[in-house]
Amino acid sequence: MKEQDNNSFTFSFSYMIHRLHENFSINKILDLIKRVNLTNESTTLQVLNPKYIISKRQLEIAIYQTITAFHSNENRARDKGTELLLRLSGYRQIKKALKIFGIEDKSEYIMFIGFGDSEEEINKNLIEISEKMGTDIKDSITQLPVSNAEILKEYYNCNDIAIIEKAAIEKIATLKLE
């Protein structure tokens, strides 16, 4: 997916979600992500727990704000992957963002997300990660959200499932206002 804003910079992003199983090693996953990010300047990969991700639109807005923060030197984190977690969580503290969106052994799902200049490069990296994890990209989940409505209602403190996406986007915007 390619996006363009009014300041005329474009970005692409893509993601895949896998059910976490015993063959996944969190340390191996984090090492793979780190290695890919070190060897590729135009693409950022991040792995996260998609439990509280509502929609592609939520991801798009958080990625846009991440890229904008780095372009304007207003980023809070040293790298774009961590900045993305801050934006999604709405918290300024990395520790809090990791508590919400970080992966751990008890995570049911993991999301690999890539963003940057080249959609082709992003997809190549996502396929490589999937292969190294021993999964088939065809088995990945693309439907959001992965959590049931009750979990999302509680996290976003919202009783109406129809406006949860709005609450999620407001959480992202709140960080920008601080």
Q: In Å, how far are 3, 5, 92, 138, 153 from 33, measured between CA atoms? A: 23, 27, 23, 20, 31
Separation of alpha carbons 53 and 38, rounded Å: 26
pLDDT tens string 26-54: 888 889 899 888 888 889 999 999 999 99
pLDDT tens string 156-178: 999 887 899 999 999 898 876 55
In this structure, how many other beta carbons lie within 10 angstroms of the beta carbon of residue 116?
20
Task: List the structure tokens of 119.
Answer: 């959609």
pTM listed for this prediction: 0.89
Third-level CATH fold of 2-177: PF0523-like (3.30.2380)
Domain boundary assignment for the chain: 2-177
Rounded average pLDDT per 10-residue block, the chain, 178 residues: 59 91 79 88 93 96 95 94 96 94 88 94 90 76 91 91 89 73
